[in-house]
Amino acid sequence: MRPVTVYDIAREANVSVATVSRVLNNTAPVKKETRERIVALMHKHQFQPNALARSLSRKETGMIGFILPDITNPFFPEVLSGFDYEARKLGYTYFLCDTISTNEENERQYDRQYERESQYLNLLMEKQVDGIVMIGGRVDLAKPGSELEREVEEASKRVPVLLLNGNLPQTKLNRISADQKLGAQLAVQHLIDLGHRDIAAIGGYAKMTNTQQRLLGFRTAMKEAGLPVRKEWILTEGFSVEKGREFASRLLGAKRRPSAIFCMNDLLAIGALKAAHRVGLGVPEELSIVGYDDIPQATYSIPELTTVSLQSQEIGRQAARTLDKMIAGKKVPRLQSIMPELVVRETTAPYTGPPL
């Protein structure tokens, strides 16, 4: 059966569509009597306004596009859930745009990530979303390259775009970002305070801003404490549990090994935990480990991870509020910085090795 429209309601109520529209949107006073008649009819026919038509004429859709790299990476659901909470309150609904996802062989496809982002950017604009938020992918690159940047900048002229936890340096897009350097400093300072001097750093990708910033924080903290940074103790290129295990194994297998490891995220830390376990090294007694991100899984391990909370939920919420303002045409600060917090749990303990 053909869905019922405002015309159907109008006809049966002996009014014009304008009046129906008015009671639908409460956009102008309508005589109580006729209003009630119309409302009754709407219920009777289970009338559901066609949002497409409405959006077409109103020129706003209440839809947002959320572009992220990989929903199975537990960091993103955290951000998303905060975003969801606020966005819903503000009356938005959103498209989830995963630029990686998993194919039949169950393998992630990173190679086409940026291409996907471009596709989604266009698709979302065609769908007439009111705004777009981007996290991960090219936004994490220290030097995305002008083409990747230009594209987003171009998009931002048509629709508000907000970047999360990253940047596109050649553009002046709005963004919300945790202070990555500070987070790393917090973590490393914590280790130093515990008496550790031989500290390694593992994970991340050299080309990513977050990694560079965290490494910078690491170096800064070490330097301020007058501690040397050993090159062989900085192992990058990877963010997975598997990589964490690999990096840590390498570290722990060497003749001289660190007494503490600073990991670029929690997954790596979980991998490091596994490596330590494998070689029979007690954590935290013999080896301290600190993670980064504070994903829920940080409390699943034994022992539970000491880590740096990026306040991911908060970033998500902030994102929704900010994007809403941008959509409303209000001014928002170009950069909103979120303060990370050190969360001390069970993988760090005072240094107990031979006196230095």
Partner DNA sequence: TTGAAAGCGCTAACAG
Partner DNA sequence: CTGTTAGCGCTTTCAA
* Residues binding DNA (CB under 7 A): 2-3, 5-7, 14-19, 21-22, 24-25, 27-35, 47, 49-50, 53-54, 56-59
**What span, in angstroms and rounded, lies between the C-alpha atoms of 316 and 205?**
23
Joined tokens for residue 100: 């990686």
Site for a second copy in 30-49 (CB under 8 A): 46, 48-49
Site for a second copy in 69-88 (CB under 8 A): 70-72, 74, 77-78, 80-82, 84-85, 88
Q: Nearest approach, Cβ of 223 to a second copy (angstroms)?
A: 33
Decide: is 14 part of the binding site for a second copy (CB under 8 A): no
Q: Nearest approach, Cβ of 42 to DNA (angstroms)?
A: 10
Binding mask 153-182 for a second copy (x = CB under 8 A): -x---x------------------------
Q: Nearest approach, Cβ of 331 to DNA (angstroms)?
A: 24
Sole window of 27-35, 121-129, 325-333, 335-343 interacting with a second copy (rule: CB under 8 A): 121-129
Q: Nearest approach, Cβ of 4 to DNA (angstroms)?
A: 8
Joined tokens for residue 326: 């941008």
Within 10 Å of residue 297's Cβ, how many Cβ atoms? 18
**What span, in angstroms and rounded, lies between the C-alpha atoms of 36 and 50?**
21
Decide: is 8 part of the binding site for a second copy (CB under 8 A): no
Joined tokens for residue 111: 């190679």
128, amino acid identity: Q
Question: Under a CB-based contact definition with an 8 Å cutoff, are residues 91 and 121 in contact?
Answer: no
Question: Under a CB-based contact definition with an 8 Å cutoff, are residues 203 and 265 in contact?
Answer: yes
Decide: is 90 part of the binding site for a second copy (CB under 8 A): no
Q: Nearest approach, Cβ of 18 to DNA (angstroms)?
A: 3
SS3 call for 156:
helix
331, amino acid identity: K
Name beta bridge partners: 67: 97, 134
Decide: is 126 part of the binding site for a second copy (CB under 8 A): yes
Q: Nearest approach, Cβ of 48 to a second copy (angstroms)?
A: 5
Give the number of residues in contact with a second copy, rule: CB under 8 A: 58
Residue 337 binds which of DNA, a second copy, none (CB < 5-8 A, kind-dependent): none
Residue 16 binds which of a second copy, DNA, none (CB < 5-8 A, kind-dependent): DNA
**What span, in angstroms and rounded, lies between the C-alpha atoms of 341 and 346?**
16
Q: Give the dihedral of Cα atoms 169, 323, 317, 337; nearest 10 deg.
A: 30
Decide: is 102 part of the binding site for a second copy (CB under 8 A): yes
**What span, in angstroms and rounded, lies between the C-alpha atoms of 168 and 261?**
30
Helix (H) or strand (E) holding 268: helix 266-278
Question: Under a CB-based contact definition with an 8 Å cutoff, are residues 165 and 178 in contact?
Answer: yes
Q: Nearest approach, Cβ of 130 to DNA (angstroms)?
A: 14
CB burial of residue 33 (10 Å; 0-12, 13-18, 19+) = exposed
Beta strand 63-68 pairing with 174-178: unpaired
Q: Closest CB to a second copy among 61 and 236?
A: 61
First vs last C-alpha separation in the chain? 82
Binding mask 289-308 for a second copy (x = CB under 8 A): -------xx-xxxx------
> Which spans of this chain sit near a second copy (rule: CB under 8 A)?
3, 46, 48-53, 55-56, 61, 63, 66, 70-72, 74, 77-78, 80-82, 84-85, 88, 93-98, 101-104, 106, 122-123, 125-128, 154, 158, 241, 267, 270, 273-274, 277, 296-297, 299-302, 313, 317
